[in-house]
Amino acid sequence: MELNILIICYLIGSVTFIIGLKMLSHPESARRGNLIAAAGMAISILGTIFLYEEGGVKLGNYIWIFAALIIGTVLGTIAAKKVKMTAMPEMVSLFNGMGGACAALISIVEFDHLNHQIQSGGATDSGTLLIIFAGLIIGTISFAGSMIAWAKLNGRIKDFAFNGQHIMNLVIFAVIICLSAYLIISGDPAAGTLFYVVFVLSIIYGLFFVLPIGGADMPVVISLLNSFTGVAAAFGGFLYDNPVMLTGGILVGSAGTILTILMCKAMNRPLSNVLIGSFGGASSGAASKDQGAYKEISISDSAVVMSYAKKVMIVPGYGLAVAQAQHVCHELEKLLSDKGVEVNYAIHPVAGRMPGHMNVLLAEADVDYARLLEMEHANEEFPQTDVVLVLGANDVVNPAAKTDPGSPIYGMPVLDVELAKLVIINKRSMNPGYAGIENELFFQPKSSMLFGDAKSVLQKLVAEIKTL
């Protein structure tokens, strides 16, 4: 009877994961989808704790289990509530790394159990060993890579590369595969220490896998590492014959893989080029040109041209997130709309520091989802747009991606903001963006710079427009 109830708990968990993932595809239903998936996870966890048994013996150790659950819940809740929107990509990387670490620890524990069985005269199970090693390698790489991504996003570590690094990575990965194959095929208990050699090499590979990858590619890397964690968790589901763990891992792995492919397509670059090319790690092409002079625009002039425009397009970027200016940006949008101005937002797929960063940012301010235009739709609207307000975006509006074959971002689809009648760019300074590339848009005749913190500038714009 208890087994049947446990199966029902797992079925509920699996179904809620699928429903929740589907609802996450739309901002209006994303919050509910997240809660539904979380409820299914809670049901699956509680069902496992109280109903799972093996050989007629239940789990036990309830004090340890619930102590870990309570500590993790408290820490996770505090971290999620306190995190700033600018630090959200870092938190995603950190939490994703913890998932990879858990998958790796499962493999370590189960290898130890299997090794004891073999030493006690038990038969070698090559299939189980294969799953253990797959979970160990993928989970460890995800953990180590996510920690480097976290450190790079918060500025603790800079891009690092040296001649022959990619070759060294391939050699390390080949050694990992060869050692794993030897242990799986031989099943030699005396060679068990090599398991931990594989573990250490996987950590090293994960570190050097992410270190050379440049800033503009970090959203793709975060998505890829997320898929790694999902796959590693799925192997844990195989080990424990746990359908909900298997389903959750497969969903995370497949969703992360699809998102990675879509983002690479949006950047017009194959994944191999992202991983090997170190895109954004150094500036070249447009950065070396003499761009000429730029011109500035005042708050009052900006307020006038936006107030009397028919169509205004706002391009949000990381600078908007840094300033925590999404709410005042929404206020500006509503103020202009009340004056009869058509206001929309142009969203580039890789704007910000993680997949969907700008969507999450604007959803937090309750911006109407219908106003968020994807890149293809926005590019169709720019020729009919009177004013474009670029808020902290840089690389995703850089025309060098279309005009300069020597630029590191050449070939990457960008927002065609230069087709509008007037472009107002808000930045703190003329420093290059995250990819370290100078932006020729700033020097074009139709472009004007509006320097200052995004929140302060938008507040002044709102105050000025109210007086008109």
Q: Give the catalytic positions in this structure.
A: 395
Written as six digits, the tokens of 272 are 């191999």
What is the rounded CA–CA span in Å between residue 51 and residue 53? Answer: 6
User: Phi/psi zone of residue 164: left (φ > 0), alpha (ψ -120 to 50 degrees), beta?
Assistant: left
246 vs 289: CA distance, rounded Å: 53
From its phi and psi, is residue 340 left (phi > 0), alpha (psi between -120 and 50) or beta? left
* Parallel, antiparallel or unpaired: strands 387-391 and 311-316: parallel
Output DSSP code: residue 420. Answer: S
Nearest-angstrom CA–CA distance, 343 and 334: 8
Helices (H), 267-390: 271-277, 299-307, 318-322, 326-338, 357-364, 375-381
Which residues lie closer than 8 Å to 199 by C-beta, 6 or more apart? 104, 108, 136, 140
- The answer to whether 426 and 319 are in contact (CB under 8 A) is yes
Burial (Cβ within 10 Å: 0-12, 13-18, ≥19) of residue 338: exposed
Q: Which residues pair with 372 in a beta bridge?
A: 345
Closest CA to 222 of 109, 108, 146: 146
Q: What is the sign, positive or negative, of the torsion defined by CA atoms of 75, 76, 78, 79?
A: positive
